Amino acid sequence: MEARKVQRVGRSTLSVSLPNEWAKIVGLKPGDQITFIENKDGTLTLQPLASTLEAAQVEYIINADMCTEPGILERVIVGNYLNGRDTMRIVSSRGISAAHIEETRRIVRRLLGMGIIEETPNQILIQCSIDITKFPVNSLVRRLYIIASTMFKEALTALEQLNIPLAKQALSREEEADMLYWLLTRLVFISQSDRKTAVKIGLEEPLHILGARAVGLLLERSADWGETIAKNVIELENAKSELEAETGKKIVGKIVELGKIVNEICYNGIQSLYSGDILTASRSIELYKRKVETMEEEIVNELPLLGLSAYVCQRLRTITWGAKRTAELGAEIAQIAINRSLEVNSKYCEAHIIKEEATKSEN
């Protein structure tokens, strides 16, 4: 953090010089205009006009020759995308390898708005053409929740019915969950440095930027657990006789019952995030503590006593653990909902200015 001295210019004007390095980065020059945005917390945001920013567009060069192991190039592309960078040029002095071409094409398909603009033997130009202001953060969060919860419900239903195609359908949704999560993260990162964009997509307060990032990450992990549960259901395809036996049906029934409680916790957690209902959020957290942890422990302890094969027990144990972790993530969203509700005065808590009251008492 750099401090600069405020100086007086004339009788009524105060001025502060701008950092030269920042001016270079945004392409600011003498005669250009900047706008001042007054934030609710009393701070000011300096924003060069759009024409100035457009003149300072940057192309990011990715050295493919340094990406010597599988996955590195893909992760570098994703990292640049998340950081809000629109134009990336992948270059190689030896020629872009077939593996790098495939890696680039594979990941570009999964990044919303990204596309390959130009391809030569030594270079690949990729660019993001998406208008992020068309994607309100709240809508993205809701969509990500719907995908994650659908994956979980389909995976548990597939277990109950031994419906392998349904489990595979749940599995196929994971790519869309990743796509939305990466877009949401991109929006959050851009909002940290661009307050005008942040306001346009619904992140009016700096704290909301952190909250959106946290909720997005929790929902992405929920989708990952939905994927894990679906994979384990698919691996039970040849264990139909064990699961259709009386003991198998009984334990699967308990897991499905646990899943219903998990759905309730996650649903109420995400609803309270937007309704500001502290009571509903708190009940979700308590439901996790009182019910889910106890039920998970009972199921895990009962599994070895049912005469099921070790293979089946392991798959069911992982599914049960996945259900518990999903509920835990839902409870964490509920806690974020409570924190957000307390940002404003409510019947639960309101700001009280002590200094003002003390002054009145003295008078």
Selected residue with higher pLDDT from 174 and 21: 174
Rg (CA), the chain: 26
What is the pLDDT confidence band of residue 42, given thresholds at 50, 70 and 90? low
**216 near 147, Cβ under 8 Å?**
no
pLDDT band at 262 (very low <50, low <70, confident <90, very high): very high
**In the predicted model, is pLDDT for residue 51 greater than 50?**
no
Average pLDDT score over residue span 293-317: 94
Residue 276: which residues within 8 A CB-CB, separation 6 or more?
337, 340, 341, 346
- Residue from 218, 242, 238 nearest 328 by CA: 218
The two tokens of residue 279 are 């009571």
- The predicted model gives 179-208 an average pLDDT of 88
Single out the residue of 274, 321, 271 nearest to residue 295, CA to CA: 321
% the chain with pLDDT above 70: 92
Predicted pLDDT of residue 358: 52
In the block, residue with structure tokens 């089946």:
312
Whether pLDDT at 117 is above 60 = yes
Residues 221 and 214: beta-carbon distance below 8 Å: no
| Higher-scoring residue by pLDDT: 222, 16 | 222
Mean pLDDT, residues 224-246: 94
How crowded is residue 305: how many other Cβ atoms within 10 Å of its Cβ?
A: 10
* Res. 203 pLDDT band, cuts 50 70 90: confident
DSSP 8-class letter at 27: T
Work out the pLDDT band at 52, boundaries 50, 70, 90. very low
- Tens of pLDDT, residues 53-89: 444 578 999 999 999 999 999 999 999 999 999 999 9
**363: confidence class by pLDDT, cuts 50, 70, 90:** low
